[in-house]
């Protein structure tokens, strides 16, 4: 949510944070919060219908990392606060403030993911999981990197959008295994549907059962704490446990040793990292936190459940498999859906063959009709222009990269062939491309300028051959304007040096 508000500010061209707050929240006192932003009721009103406050809380904040582990009354109270805006209350109630787990010191990012974001969308955004304590790398690209934006934010009212000036695209170090274990579970928590929380009683019963099932009992009623501790130490590297303040105590009493306490009667909540540490140690790598939460929820409880709003499901004569297929077809053609979930397709083919073939056929026809409908080129032209402008702003801050030719722009938009064939129908887009595409000369000059800036760190007056080598240019291939530019650079550099002496 934080990222979205920040990007809205960029798109609307607000330069002052207060302006943005005024426009979005109608209040200048809102504090920009990364993990658990509030005033979501107000935000929801500005967005399309499907973005209910509940949807924003669960799909666009870090609330789902905490929600399943606090008692139900507290979960509901926190949802209220997040909608309205009680600064700080939610952090207190969820134990974020007092927690032994400290939020990452800086806003973090994954250069690999951001490169993909740029190619797909032409802009960056902050991903929720990068800001989660315990997640230290991206399983796909490697270690996350720190921006220089400190947490908590120093400028409390400013929403900062992910952009090249904050996210240096450097080579990433290899990721760490413990981090990947955590990411697997965190991702499940982040997409888990809204559910009532379990009670302390249910958690107590669940952990008693877990110890018993895994053989961590001494005699009949004694949990074998020291063997549990050994398992944790065997699986999790000691430096990692220490860094996250999760190292079990050597001779701890029950109250101060969290690992003992979690197998006793629960009197307070434990956080997601503590649950993950225990399960990974006891169950190995194939457990799922999603399933654990369902198991806990099914344990008997005497506590009265608070009144929870029940979401009424649309009555349906379809099986869950069929419903799942409908859901797939909303976002992708049948062929692709089949590739995404071959098992589902196979089951449907076995059990509902006629239905499946019929629905796929109808879907294909519907898509053909949609495509055949005349494209509104005027609208397309305006939209493309808008996208191109954003792209240009983005590229302006980033001086590296290949020549910004017409093809390059269109390729970044992801619609090269369609647009190229139809440029004659899109006057605004065409003239933007004419005005903004980089000629070969301009491209060579940009490379020389970059080389000059690069070398400026080491040389007062970088020699010509170094400039050429750094810019990967040779004199024979240079255009006349670029050659002229190079001569000027070298001359100015000498001039500067002479004056310096």
Residue ranges that bind Zn ion, judged by CB under 5 A: 110, 112-113, 138, 140-141
Q: Calculate the CA dihedral of residues 169, 174, 176, 179 and round it to 10 degrees.
A: 30
Compute the least distance from the CB of residue 62 to Zn ion, in Å: 18
Minimum CB distance to Zn ion smaller for 114 or for 322 = 114
Least distance CB 138 / Zn ion (angstroms): 3
Question: Residues near 291 by Cβ (< 8 Å), separated by ≥ 6?
Answer: none
Give the DSSP letter string of 240-295: HHHHTT-PPPSS--TTT-HHHHTTS---S---HHHHHHHHHHHHGGG--HHHHHHH
Nearer to Zn ion by C-beta: 67 or 110?
Answer: 110
The minimum distance between CB 241 and Zn ion, in angstroms, equals: 25
- Closest approach of Cβ 96 to Zn ion, in Å? 25
Cis peptide bond prior to 152, omega within 30° of 0: yes
DSSP state letter for 232: H
* Rounded Cα gap, residues 283 and 285, in angstroms: 7
Residue (110 or 145) nearer to Zn ion, CB: 110
d(CA 123, CA 395): 10
Q: How far is the CB of 393 from Zn ion (least distance, A)?
A: 24
Contact between residue 156 and residue 31 where contact means Cβ atoms under 8 Å apart: yes
| Of residues 190 and 261, the one with the C-beta less far from Zn ion | 190
- Nearer to Zn ion by Cβ, of 120 and 212: the residue is 120
Closest CB to Zn ion belongs to which residue? Answer: 138
DSSP track, 311-352: PPPPP-SS-HHHHHHHHHHHHS-HHHHHHH-HHHHHHHHHH-
Give the CA dihedral 262, 263, 268, 273, nearest 10 degrees. Answer: 20
- Output the smallest distance, CB 101 to Zn ion, in A: 22
To Zn ion, the closest distance from the beta carbon of 113 in angstroms equals: 3
Nearer to Zn ion, 187 or 483 (CB): 187
Q: Which is nearer to Zn ion, 110 or 182 (CB)?
A: 110
- Determine what percent of the chain falls in helix, strand and coil, rounding each to the nearest 5: 60, 5, 40
């Amino acid at each position: 949510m934080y990222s979205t508000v920040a990007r809205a500010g960029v798109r609307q061209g607000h330069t002052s944070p207060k302006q943005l707050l005024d426009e979005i929240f109608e209040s200048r006192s809102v504090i920009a919060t990364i993990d658990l932003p509030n005033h979501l009721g107000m935000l929801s009103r500005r967005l399309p219908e499907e973005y209910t406050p509940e949807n924003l809380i669960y799909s666009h904040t870090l609330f789902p990392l905490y929600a399943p582990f606090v008692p139900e009354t507290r979960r509901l109270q926190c949802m209220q606060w997040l909608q309205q805006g009680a600064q700080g209350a939610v952090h207190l109630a969820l134990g974020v403030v007092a927690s032994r787990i400290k939020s990452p010191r800086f806003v973090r990012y994954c250069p690999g993911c951001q490169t993909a974001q740029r190619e797909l969308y032409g802009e960056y955004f902050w991903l929720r999981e990068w800001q989660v304590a315990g997640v230290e790398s991206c399983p796909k690209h490697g270690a996350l990197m720190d921006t220089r934006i400190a947490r908590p934010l120093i400028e409390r009212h400013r929403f900062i959008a992910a952009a090249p000036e904050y996210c240096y695209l450097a080579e990433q170090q290899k990721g760490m295994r413990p981090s990947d274990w955590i990411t697997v579970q965190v991702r499940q928590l982040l997409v888990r549907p809204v559910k009532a929380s379990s009670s302390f009683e249910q958690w107590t019963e669940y952990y008693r059962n877990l110890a018993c099932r895994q053989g961590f009992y001494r005699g009949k009623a004694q949990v074998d704490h020291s063997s549990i501790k050994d398992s944790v130490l065997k699986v999790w590297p000691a430096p990692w446990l220490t860094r996250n303040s999760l190292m079990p105590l050597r001779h701890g009493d029950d109250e101060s040793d969290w690992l003992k306490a979690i197998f006793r009667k629960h009197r307070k909540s434990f956080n997601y990292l503590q649950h993950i540490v225990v399960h990974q140690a006891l169950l190995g790598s194939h457990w799922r936190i999603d399933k654990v939460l369902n198991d806990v929820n099914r344990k008997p409880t005497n506590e009265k459940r608070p009144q929870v709003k029940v979401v009424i499901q649309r009555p349906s004569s379809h099986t869950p498999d069929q419903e799942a297929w409908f859901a797939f077809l909303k976002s992708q053609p049948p062929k692709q859906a089949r590739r995404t979930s071959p098992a589902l397709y196979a089951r449907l083919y076995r059990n509902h063959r006629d239905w499946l073939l019929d629905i796929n056929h109808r879907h294909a026809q519907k898509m053909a009709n949609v495509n055949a409908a005349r494209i509104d080129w005027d609208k397309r032209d305006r939209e493309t222009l808008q996208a191109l402008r954003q792209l240009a702003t983005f590229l302006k801050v980033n001086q590296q990269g290949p020549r910004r030719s017409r093809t390059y722009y269109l390729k970044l938009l992801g619609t090269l062939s369609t647009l190229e064939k139809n440029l004659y129908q899109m006057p605004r887009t065409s003239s933007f491309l004419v005005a903004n595409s980089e000629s070969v000369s301009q491209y060579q000059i940009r490379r020389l300028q970059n080389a000059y800036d690069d070398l400026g760190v080491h040389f007062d007056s970088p020699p010509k051959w170094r400039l050429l080598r750094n810019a990967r240019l040779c004199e024979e291939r240079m255009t006349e304007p670029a050659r002229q530019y190079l001569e000027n650079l070298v001359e100015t550099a000498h001039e500067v040096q002479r004056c310096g002496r």
